[in-house]
Structure 1
Amino acid sequence: MPKRGYHHGNLRQALVDAALELIEAKGPMGFTLSEAAKQAGVTPAAVYRHFDGREDLIAEAAKQGYEIFCDVMEHAYETGQPSALAAFEAVGRAYLAFARKYPGHYISMFESGISVNRSPDLAAVAHRAWGVLERAATDLSVHIPENRRPPASMFSAHIWAMSHGVVELFARNSPGNQSPFPPEDLLESGIGVYLRGLGLIPPDR
């Protein structure tokens, strides 16, 4: 690909797109800025007009990933009604779907070591994503008397961790890890067992 220089199109986004491809292929620490520049068709020096370094580039990929992630989660929550349980389960399935469809973004967000507090914009959008799951958890527990109600932030964190575990072990083709059940079924059954244990859904559900 010929060098096009930093004047062409939207170089910032072209570099993010290049980084996402490299992250998916090589991991977040498996590529250099020079490789990202080459993939985008520009000189390495042009990269520094937009990013301070590789971590800055990965952080932008993570921020864009969280923006997509929020939209996916919020859509799942809204369309998963009419019941609070259905909405909660829909959010869990959306997590798996996002990880499959946007692997480069997912890795940037959760496997790169980039802190969500690296920038105010990244922190804000990550907090928004967390808020969707916590809102779904709050709706699910509203029927329980307040003095016996588990904190929504606690069990939403547990469900997030469960979702992440299913993704890492079974939903992204991790070598050597195969399940006799679809990841969606694993997550849904795990959520059911967990929520019954907390008394959030009846045992005969």
Structure 2
Amino acid sequence: MADAEATAQALKRAIEANGLPVTVTPRVMDGTTLHQIVMGENNGLPPTPDQFKTDPSEWMIVNFQLDDMVSRADSPGQGEAAEQFARDLAVFVQRAAVAGKRVSAVMPMMTCDAPTGFTAANALIAALTMAANNSSLGIVGGIGSPLCDVDRDGKVTPGIDFEHLGADLRTPDAYLLNEQIQSIANAIAPKPAATK
């Protein structure tokens, strides 16, 4: 919780430095929580088209996670969990839109603990993309170059910022977290262009 609070405060400072006052609450929403929220209203059904009358006036930036952010994307159950997550997230975003809120999901940080394309982060990215295709979900917080490439045999080819992952090849350090925070801040509150 202390790490989440520190990250929330760093994000608040970064967005406010770009000129937009905000409130940031440190929370991570996993698949189980998301499913409970969605099923708790109207038996999990999305809003009807006639309900979409409100233009968004608030932003929600949410750090979503699958329940299992360690197992590979091709592990038993991980694909089904990601598909359920995507369906629930699309409904969550549609309901938020009816309430005048625009939802953006934080892009998960890629890891190097499984072959490229098969990490839990890849499963989450696929779920976020599916949800974005079926709703107004925005995705923010992507960082520059890939941290690594991992082949089928588990051979890791380091990328530019590879040294900023921990020994487990999945834990970003302060440098990467700051890069992601700046990316989110710049997406939410772009800095005005400098005048000459």
Q: What TM-score, normalized to structure 2?
A: 0.29
Structure with a larger share of its residues in helix: 1
The structure showing larger relative contact order (alpha-carbon pairs under 8 Å, at least 6 residues apart) is: 2
Structure of larger gyration radius: 1
* Between structures 1 and 2, the one with greater strand share: 2
